[in-house]
Structure 1
Amino acid sequence: MYKGQHRGAEILPRVLRGEHGWWFLGPGGVARLKDDHLTASRELRPAAERSLRQRGLFDVPAYSGYSLTVLTSTHCNLGCAYCFQNTEQDTSGANRPTRIRYARLTSATITSVLEFAARRMADAELSHLDVMLFGGEPLLNPQGCRELLARAADYGLRRASMTSNGTLLTPKLARQLSDLGLRDVQVTFDGDLADHDAIRVRRTGGGTFDDIVRNMAAVTEATPLTWGLRVNVSHHNHRGIDELVERLAGGLDPSRCSLYFARVGDVGIGYGNDLEFSGTIAASFIRWQRRALELGFHVSRPRTVNPCQACSYTDGRYGAVVNADGTLSSCWETAGKPGWQVGTVRDGYLPRERTEGKWISCEEFYQYDDELSALTRFQDTVDAALLDYLSATGRLGRRTRQDR
């Protein structure tokens, strides 16, 4: 199998059937292919592979920054039933599922986190630091967020991002974080207003949709922050997502937002998503993406499955996920979960034999009960249609190449 190399990790290019021929997705870009560039099993013919390599489509950029994800608080003010940080469902029917153990980032732990990052950066010969503020809900500890970014400036902070539910973000706080290096925030929506307010609920009760949109609009006016809008798709909400896209375009500045649609998986805490990877749902994803682009949203173009800096390397060489108490996890999906720690920022990573079975990657598909082949077919269909549309509307960009 043809592949690109990234310092020990493999990146497998993808070949997708488009409306007019084929699409090749490599770490270095995208190219159109003709039928005679491929074998019957959809493998590149040697001449086609040589041409693509010469054009740089197999080239993988080297990392220049160390990726540091830090949970500033493991608590959350919402009670979403599907959250991977829940340890069980709320069987009482309320909105208080049991969660991972409480921890809050302190000044002392920030010192240990940054000293750990400095050691890892020196080992990997990386000069810049990229920080992700994570939770729980990170803004339940705003001082921890501010202090971490302020002190990270002395360690080569290049940019910071945050994953937040958006309910606690005010213009004043957003300006403070922006001045300290925060550049973008990921916020999740669970369908249109009524569906979202039934799913993404406060632990004290009540919906969140209007508050989130109102906060985002106010912060957009007050800061240069950009937004990554993740839309969770399930059997509960998929029928209202067309309306959601229109509503978001009316309440937000689409030019400052990217829109990403993702099917919610089963993370083993009693939540099930009955939505299948069918042709009908693929058509819906395609329709949502095209409408989002028409309304001025950014929709990320398809790509290869690239290594995650934090979890794709079993020695944590290029990144780390740190819980608020200073324990290390391989991935943000296991941070704070009992028994999944792979070290501490004070002592470093445990020997590999002691992390066997605890080192998972966010690229893995364990959260889906469906056959991997069904997921692959679904994603290939959606991605090929998006590439077709981006190409037809002149949005694909300069890194797309026609192989001849």
Structure 2
Amino acid sequence: MSIDQAVSIGLPVRLATATDPAAPDTAAWNPPALPDGARLLKGERNWWFLGPGGVARLRDRHVTPEGGLRPEARRRLHETGMLTPGRVNAYALTVLTSTHCNLGCGYCFQNTAQDEAGGSRPPRIGRTRLTSETITDILGFTERQMAAAGLEKLRILLFGGEPLLNPRGCLELLERAAEIAPTTAWMISNATLLTPSLARKLTDRGLTSVQVTFDGDRADHDRIRIGRADGGATFDKIVGNIAQATEATPLQWMLRVNVSQETFHGVDALIDRLAGALDPGRCTLYFARIGDVGVGYSNSLLHTGELPAAFARWQRRALDLGFVVGRPGARQTCVTCGHTDGRYGAVVSADGTLASCWETAGKPDWEVGTVTDGYRPGEETRDRWIACQDLYRYDEDARTLARFRDSVDTALLDYLQETGRL
């Protein structure tokens, strides 16, 4: 369906039906303003509209000389649901099962400083571990929050530290959560501890996907993403564990590639290496520049120069090798940290303290409540309530970052259209 042709790519599109209110005549209709987060990008052959209800391909006649939407185009987008935000249908619960980690990555936002000895043991947030008693409190809190929001489904993120340093806590949380609501789960893990047996147990309890990070190709990764105890290499272990778990379970994988001045030149080789070792059809590949969170780690690679073209090249190569690449979309409010009352989600550390976002979980003086007492009043948490990326520092201004994202997303949409992948 189109404005000339609307295209849904990974985002739900609600079509107008006979039960919808009849659209008024164009001449008499005052089109609503675009929703927050909607984007309009100029592609090589057409324009791309990215809204909360999906993505549409537009022609020049639908866009004003100033780069806005003409009334007829806006009306059609409204009629087809492109301007309508999707309904939250599950409570998003993030739980740190362990705040400890078995790796010593120097850029980690949970570090409190760099390792003064130059080794693999940067100081970290305090060590806590999820217990059965805390799980009881977390699930009681979750039931109350879900009832208040009118939500009946639960989506859990197993987080850390490294969540698999406490496999019993992961399994018990998922098993008991299923007793209060239909539950699905995903996990962010370094995968060094993921065995086929453990992967099967987690999958049986609702785990559907795992996010794993790579720091460039093997040599770069093994210099950066190292064992905390011995500084040992991890690349082959991680790839092997993913491959074995893929054979043993239906798990899907989100492979994050960290980009910095230390990894940039190895990313092309990494994509090919992963394609040869893993099943690309089960893996979503995405690329992310490492940000500065104030722990003494510096990334001199900027979002200008050759970086936009490199991101576009990597995405095209990943697609051509059979990897899934996430489709661009509108800027959307995070269901977990985007509402200061924790309406649709919560982040809980292993000791039961509440944080506004995963970036501050387990950090002293950033608590916004506890699962036993609930959230503190807004006037007490106002300065502690941060959203995704708020703690990251960049050497460029927000306009430069937005131009980078728009350039990369436009190139991806153009390539998807060019290769018939839409």
Q: Shorter-chain TM-score category? A: over 0.9
2:273 to 211, 235, 247: 247
User: Residue 40 of structure 1 aligns with which residue?
Assistant: 65
Q: How many residues align?
A: 390
Q: Deviations over 1:158-206 (max 9, x none)?
A: 3100000010000010000000110000000000000011111111211
Structure (1 or 2) with the larger CA radius of gyration = 2
Show structure 1 runs of 5+ residues with no match.
5-10, 397-404
Structure-to-structure mapping, 1:316-355, within 5 angstroms: 316-355=342-381
Q: Deviations over 1:302-342 (max 9, x none)?
A: 01121111100010000000000000000001101111100
Give the CA deviation at 1:366: 4.0
Give the CA deviation at 1:3: 3.3
1:186 to 207, 211, 223: 211
User: Residue 34 of structure 2 aligns with which residue?
Assistant: 3
Does residue 377 (structure 1) correspond to residue 408 (structure 2)? The answer is no
User: Residue 44 of structure 2 aligns with which residue?
Assistant: 19
Structure-to-structure mapping, 1:93-108, within 5 angstroms: 93-108=118-133
Q: Distance in 2 between matches of 1:307 and 1:113?
A: 24
Give the CA deviation at 1:28: 0.7
Structure-to-structure mapping, 1:211-290, within 5 angstroms: 211-290=237-316
Give the CA deviation at 1:61: 1.5
Q: Deviations over 1:215-267 (max 9, x none)?
A: 00000011111100000100111111000000000010001100010111101
Q: Distance in 2 between matches of 1:29 and 1:367?
A: 30
Give the CA deviation at 1:395: 1.6
Give the CA deviation at 1:49: 1.2
Give the CA deviation at 1:391: 1.3
Q: Distance in 1 between matches of 2:362 and 2:267?
A: 32
Residue 320 of structure 1 aligns to a residue whose secondary structure is strand
User: Residue 8 of structure 1 aligns with which residue?
Assistant: none
Q: Distance in 2 between matches of 1:3 and 1:97?
A: 46
User: Residue 319 of structure 2 aligns with which residue?
Assistant: 293
Aligned partners of 2:359 and 2:391 also within 8 Å:
no
Aligned partners of 2:283 and 2:324 also within 8 Å:
yes
TM-score, normalised to structure 2, is 0.91
Could you say which structure has the greater relative contact order, defined with CA pairs below 8 angstroms and 6 or more residues apart?
1
1:169 to 185, 194, 197: 194
More strand by percentage? 1
Give the CA deviation at 1:278: 1.7
Distance change >3 Å, CA 34–CA 364, structure 1 → 2:
farther
Q: Distance in 2 between matches of 1:187 and 1:171?
A: 16
Give the CA deviation at 1:21: 2.2
Q: Deviations over 1:264-316 (max 9, x none)?
A: 11011111110011241111111100110111100011011211111000100
Does residue 127 (structure 1) correspond to residue 152 (structure 2)? The answer is yes
Give the CA deviation at 1:365: 7.2
Does residue 79 (structure 1) correspond to residue 110 (structure 2)? The answer is no
Does residue 51 (structure 1) correspond to residue 76 (structure 2)? The answer is yes
Aligned partners of 1:277 and 1:378 also within 8 Å:
yes
Aligned partners of 1:128 and 1:155 also within 8 Å:
no
Does residue 150 (structure 1) correspond to residue 143 (structure 2)? The answer is no
Give the CA deviation at 1:132: 0.4
Q: Distance in 2 between matches of 1:124 and 1:46?
A: 35
Mean Cα deviation higher: 351-360 or 49-58: 49-58
Q: Distance in 2 between matches of 1:139 and 1:217?
A: 17
1:156 aligned partner, one-letter code = A
Q: Distance in 1 between matches of 2:395 and 2:361?
A: 22
Q: Distance in 2 between matches of 1:68 and 1:293?
A: 31
Q: Distance in 2 between matches of 1:161 and 1:270?
A: 30
Residue 343 of structure 2 aligns to a residue whose secondary structure is coil
Residue 88 of structure 1 aligns to a residue whose secondary structure is coil
Residue 47 of structure 1 aligns to a residue whose secondary structure is helix
Residue 73 of structure 1 aligns to a residue whose secondary structure is coil
Give RMSD over aligned pairs: 1.2
Q: Distance in 1 between matches of 2:215 and 2:186?
A: 21
Aligned partners of 1:329 and 1:341 also within 8 Å:
yes
Residue 178 of structure 2 aligns to a residue whose secondary structure is helix
1:310 aligned partner, one-letter code = T
Q: Distance in 1 between matches of 2:191 and 2:339?
A: 31
Q: Percent identity of the aligned residues? A: 61
2:270 aligned partner, one-letter code = L
Give the CA deviation at 1:364: 4.1
Q: Distance in 2 between matches of 1:266 and 1:41?
A: 35
Give the CA deviation at 1:93: 0.8
Q: Distance in 2 between matches of 1:266 and 1:334?
A: 14
Q: Distance in 2 between matches of 1:38 and 1:101?
A: 53
Give the CA deviation at 1:363: 5.4
Residue 288 of structure 2 aligns to a residue whose secondary structure is strand
User: Residue 25 of structure 2 aligns with which residue?
Assistant: none
Q: Deviations over 1:334-367 (max 9, x none)?
A: 1011111000000000000000111111154743
Give the CA deviation at 1:83: 0.3
Distance change >3 Å, CA 391–CA 364, structure 1 → 2:
farther
Q: Distance in 2 between matches of 1:368 and 1:183?
A: 33
Aligned partners of 1:132 and 1:163 also within 8 Å:
yes
Q: Deviations over 1:93-119 (max 9, x none)?
A: 111001001110000000000000000
Q: Distance in 2 between matches of 1:129 and 1:32?
A: 34
Aligned partners of 1:279 and 1:378 also within 8 Å:
no
Does residue 198 (structure 1) correspond to residue 229 (structure 2)? The answer is no
Give the CA deviation at 1:22: 1.2
